[in-house]
Structure formats: C-alpha cells, structure tokens
C-alpha cells in the first residue's frame, strides 16, 4: 500500500490488558495518528509484564519495523519494568536521567523522591526525552523505540510531543462508501476485480448489522488520493449494478 | 501465576484494526472469559490481511501456546483469507465442508450460493465446527487453532459455542481494592514487599485520575482465592499505614 513509507509496531505492555481488566484505548489512537503521519502500523502486540518477554519482543519487532511505540509499564511500582527492559534490549546501561532526576527531586523534595520515584527518573543511557515541558515524568526514545505511558490521556500528550519529530511518509488517505441492504456475499466477486485493478490500494469490506438489516462499508486506503477516489467510484457503480444506491463515507 | 494452566494467544486479523478504523472489541471479552475458564491469555497480536504474515504468525504462536483464538477474516470478500491461511499453516488441504456447504446452499439457493459464499463453506480438512445450530456459517477449530468471526456479536456466539468444549484450568480469580488520595510512588515500596511474599500471585497497581485527584487500584490475581484475599488484606494495611482508608473492589 505504501511500500516506501516508514513502518510502525505498537507494543502494549501490561497484564491488565491481557487479563481483560482493562480495555486498551491506545492502539486505535496511535494507529490513526500514525497513519496520518504516513507511518502505517503493521503489527500490534500485547504482552505481559515479564522481563524476558519484553526484552525478546522489543528486539524482535525493532528489527522488523522502522519504529516501535510502547505503551505502559513506566510507573513507579514493581510491575513497571518497561524502561529497564528497553535498556537491556538495546544493550545500554539504565542510568539516572539528569534532567528528569532534578525535576522530580525539586517537585517531590528529598524525602518523597523515594527509590520508587527514582526509578521513574532512570532511563536507558542516551535516551531522548519525549517531553512537552509540562510533564513531570516524560517518556523517552532510544534507537527506534519510543516509550510512553499506558494511561491514555498521558500517552496522547507524549505521542503529540513526539509526533513533530518523527520523519513522515506519504500520508495514508482513505475514501469510503456504504450501503444498507447489501450483503458482502453479493458484492465480493465484483469487489475483488476492483481490488485487482488497484494493487497499490488496500480495499477493505466491512459488514455491519442494524435492526433494520445488514449493510456493507467499503474503505479504500493508500497514499494516492486520486486512486482511492477512482476505486470508490467503481465500487459505487458496482453497488448501483446490484440495485442499491451507495452513500459516500462510513455509516453513522 | 498459574503454571499448570493451559495458555492462550489471541490473533486479531484485519487491516481495519491496524489502521485505526475500528476499535477492537474482542480482546477484552475473550481475555476475561478465558481467564474465567482457567486458560489465561499470554499474548495478543494484531496482524494485517497478508497471507504470508498470517501463516507465519499462526505457526509461531501455536507452537508457543496451548490455544490460539483468531478473530476476523472469515467473510466472503477478497480480504477474508484467514481460513485458507490456517489450512496452509497446519499443512492440510482447504476443502468444502459438507455440512456447511449443504446448509449454505439450502439457504441461498444455487444461484446466490456463488463462489464468494462457497469460500465461506470451505475449511481446512479435518476442521471441527464451532457451531450452535443457529449459525449459517460457523467458525471452526483445527489442531489448537480456533477460528472465529471478527464482528463482536458473532464472535461471542462462536466463543460461547466453543467454550464448553475447551479443557479448563484452575480459574483465575482476582481480588482488588482502591483508594482515593494516594499516589503509586508512595506505596510502591510496600507493595513490592507484598508481591515478594506472594510469588504465585500477579499483583498489579493501576493509577487513576479524577477531577478530585489521583487514586490507585490494586488487583491481586491467581488461582488461589485465599492467597489473593490475604495479599489484599496486607495491601489494605499498607494503605492504612499511609493514612488512607481503602475500599474493597475496583473504583467505579
């Protein structure tokens, strides 16, 4: 779809998502924003707070993708081990970051800047802060790994602080239409022919079900807006040939 | 946490989740239900509709975990390639399933039972249907891979049709408490000591933020309810020692 664009992998680190306690709220935000920046997400992994698993997985995916974005595991408690695991994966020491250390000590005072909080001021050597000047404890980037908080509001602040520094690819655009009263099985053959004529696009078909009956949404994604529009025009003709008037955009 | 329990991996297959178009709604449901059945989820991967990626990933995770649950990619359109990829991963032919084929042909009639719909009646040889007698096109299991729809309402029907047939482990139970007005950095050291006394439990710490200030929820998970309760009692004492009265359960 966008062969020359940089690629991304999201690593969600935390037992709470794997156990079903927490609904992940970061993947969709990151996937959408990274797509807008022309850095399409190619894979997401959700893994537990186990050091060996984190280290192995970070190295596996950072070799495969241009960027790795991690969420979760950078707080002060015993289950927050992302930072030291990323240091181990990259092969650098895990050391106090002078800027964050000073900022946190000033904020908490010597007594409350305890060992748990000191861990949050400890980062892989050579890390670049993901900071907006207002975060007490920022995220960081080291090599091609970007380490962010798991709490969605904080993750978003961090990502937006980072976004402007990321080298962008061609933005991925999408064009869509939908129609009520159609089933995928009736349009699949025609849609496959359209996909084959636009190999640079990803054309996706998404059925939906309402009280009043089924419908289908078609989304064409790629880096060429004109191609996406042409493909969607062909899908509209396909829908009309099946006796259904399509509506531009996604279903409400 | 539950070393003798069978383990699970969830494979979410679909460009729509990776692009951020769709918020995944299956992982949390499956993770919670599988935990209740004593089959804890150890990893989740979200991967695109690319045959080579699906085949490689299925084989990687099915070697590593006792069960693999896939969602998505079993409809009739060109981007629905999960079924044939699972056949290729397992190394068996992809063939018409006589029961599903007959059922779909009877439902659609010869003319509308077109090649696209015939693909939905084609499955890895030797597949066992995931069926409740009311689904036109069921999911299936082959070896340790369970293939389900991506549409959440249909996925849930399929999972519940499958659940009673899964060999269970000891159910994973959880006990929790929370308190308003505490920060993780103040309790991290005490909490780590409690975790070290209960190595068979996973004790997680989850900060939350409300308009009225911060709070922390602590969750102890494991297969022994008595251990989880004892650990949570120790956490309650830790909170009281910090001058905060804990409330049992998760925050509302």
Pick from B18, B27, B40: which is nearest to A31 by CB?
B18
Q: Are B195 and B201 in contact (CB under 8 A)?
A: yes
For chain A, what is the total number of helices (H) and then of strands (E)?
A: 9, 12
For chain A, the average pLDDT equals: 95
Task: Name the fold adopted by A8-163.
Answer: Molybdenum Cofactor Biosythetic Enzyme; Chain A (3.40.980)
Rounded to whole angstroms, the Cα distance separating A135 from A141 reads 15
Q: Are B96 and B118 in contact (CB under 8 A)?
A: yes
Inter-chain contact B32–A20, Cβ cutoff 8 Å? yes
A173-248 under CATH 3.40.190.10, yes or no: no
Question: Is residue A44 less than 8 Å (CB to CB) from chain B?
Answer: yes
Give the β-pairing of A67-71 and A145-148: parallel
Q: So what's the ipTM on this one?
A: 0.94
B90 to chain A, closest Cα gap in Å: 22
Question: Is residue B19 less than 8 Å (CB to CB) from chain A?
Answer: yes
Rounded to whole angstroms, the Cα distance separating A50 from B134 reads 42
Written as one string, the DSSP assignment of B147-196 is EE-SSHHHHHHHHHHHHTTSPP-SPPEEEEEEEET--HHHHHHHHHHHHH
Query: What's residue A121's pLDDT?
Result: 97
Q: Are A56 and A44 in contact (CB under 8 A)?
A: no
Which of the residues B12, B13, B15, B36 would you substitute to probe the A interface, choosing the one with the greatest number of A C-beta atoms within 10 Å? B15
Instruction: Sort out which chain A residues have CB atoms less than 8 A from B33's CB and list them.
Output: 20
Give the start-to-end residue ranges of the domains of chain B.
8-163, 173-248
Rounded to whole angstroms, the Cα distance separating A53 from A42 reads 20
Query: What's residue B53's pLDDT?
Result: 98
B158 to chain A, closest Cα gap in Å: 17
Rounded to whole angstroms, the Cα distance separating A15 from B197 reads 19
Query: What's residue A10's pLDDT?
Result: 98
Q: Are A52 and A82 in contact (CB under 8 A)?
A: no
Long-range residue pairs from B243-249, CB within 8 A, at least 24 positions apart, any chain? B244/B179, B244/B180, B244/B181, B244/B182, B245/B179, B246/B177, B246/B178, B246/B179, B247/B177, B247/B178, B247/B179, B248/B176, B248/B177, B249/B176, B249/B177, B249/B178
- For residue A145, which of A75, A79, A82 has the smallest C-alpha distance? A82
Inter-chain contact B184–A75, Cβ cutoff 8 Å? yes
- Per-residue pLDDT 10s for chain B (252 aa) are 446 899 999 999 999 999 999 999 999 999 999 999 999 999 999 999 999 999 999 999 999 999 999 999 999 999 999 999 999 999 999 999 999 999 999 999 999 999 999 999 999 999 999 998 788 999 999 999 999 999 999 999 999 999 999 999 998 899 999 999 899 999 999 999 999 999 999 999 999 888 888 899 999 999 999 999 999 999 999 999 999 999 999 988
Question: Is residue B38 less than 8 Å (CB to CB) from chain A?
Answer: no
C-alpha to C-alpha distances, A48 to A81, A193, B102, B202, B205, nearest whole angstrom: 10, 42, 44, 11, 14
Rounded to whole angstroms, the Cα distance separating B57 from B90 reads 12
Inter-chain contact B28–A31, Cβ cutoff 8 Å? no
* Average of per-residue pLDDT across A33-37: 95
Q: Which residues, listed in sequence order, are joined to residue A84 by a DSSP beta bridge? A: none
Query: For residue A2, is pLDDT > 70?
Result: no
Query: What's residue A209's pLDDT?
Result: 85
Handedness of CA A216, B79, B87, B31 (dihedral sign): negative
**pLDDT tens figures, A142-182:** 999 999 999 999 999 999 999 999 999 998 899 999 999 89
Query: What's residue A3's pLDDT?
Result: 60
A94-153 residues touching B, CB cutoff 8 A? 108, 112, 114-117, 120, 151, 153
Which pLDDT band holds residue A1 (cuts at 50, 70, 90)?
Answer: very low
Question: Is residue B155 less than 8 Å (CB to CB) from chain A?
Answer: no
Rounded to whole angstroms, the Cα distance separating A25 from A31 reads 11
Rounded to whole angstroms, the Cα distance separating A221 from A223 reads 7
- For residue B226, which of B214, B218, B234 has the smallest C-alpha distance? B234
Question: Is residue A243 less than 8 Å (CB to CB) from chain B?
Answer: no
Query: What's residue B211's pLDDT?
Result: 85
Inter-chain contact B28–A23, Cβ cutoff 8 Å? yes
B98, two tokens: 């006589």
Which pLDDT band holds residue A195 (cuts at 50, 70, 90)?
Answer: very high
Instruction: Sort out which chain A residues have CB atoms less than 8 A from B42's CB and list them.
Output: 18, 48
Query: What's residue A132's pLDDT?
Result: 85
A181, two tokens: 């009263």
Rounded to whole angstroms, the Cα distance separating A8 from A36 reads 13
Query: What's residue B3's pLDDT?
Result: 60
Give the β-pairing of B41-47 and A41-47: antiparallel
A92 to chain B, closest Cα gap in Å: 25
Query: What's residue B126's pLDDT?
Result: 97
A148, two tokens: 């962010």
Q: Are B93 and B104 in contact (CB under 8 A)?
A: no
**pLDDT tens figures, A215-238:** 999 999 999 999 999 999 999 999
Query: What's residue A145's pLDDT?
Result: 98
């Amino acid at each position: 779809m966008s062969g020359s664009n940089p690629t991304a992998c999201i690593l969600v680190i935390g037992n709470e998502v794997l156990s079903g306690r927490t609904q992940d709220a970061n993947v969709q935000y990151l996937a959408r924003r990274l797509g807008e920046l022309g850095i399409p997400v190619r894979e997401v992994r959700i893994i537990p707070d186990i050091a060996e698993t984190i280290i192995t997985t970070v190295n596996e995916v950072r070799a495969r993708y241009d960027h790795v974005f991690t969420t979760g595991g950078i707080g002060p408690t015993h289950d927050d081990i992302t930072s030291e695991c990323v240091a181990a994966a990259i092969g650098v020491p895990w050391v106090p970051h002078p800027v964050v250390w000073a900022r946190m000590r000033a904020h908490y005072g010597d007594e409350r800047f305890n060992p748990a909080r000191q861990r949050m001021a400890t980062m892989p050597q050579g890390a670049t802060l993901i900071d907006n000047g207002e975060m007490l404890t920022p995220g960081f980037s080291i090599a091609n790994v970007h380490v962010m908080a798991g709490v969605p509001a904080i993750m978003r602040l961090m990502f937006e602080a980072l976004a402007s520094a990321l080298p962008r690819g061609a933005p991925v655009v999408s064009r869509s239409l939908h129609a009520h009263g159609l089933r995928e099985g009736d349009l699949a053959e025609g849609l496959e022919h359209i996909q084959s004529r636009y190999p640079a696009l990803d054309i996706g078909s998404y059925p939906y079900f309402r009280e009043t009956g089924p419908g289908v949404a078609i989304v064409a994604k790629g880096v060429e807006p004109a191609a996406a529009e042409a493909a969607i025009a062909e899908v509209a003709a396909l829908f009309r040939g099946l006796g259904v008037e399509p509506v531009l955009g996604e279903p409400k």
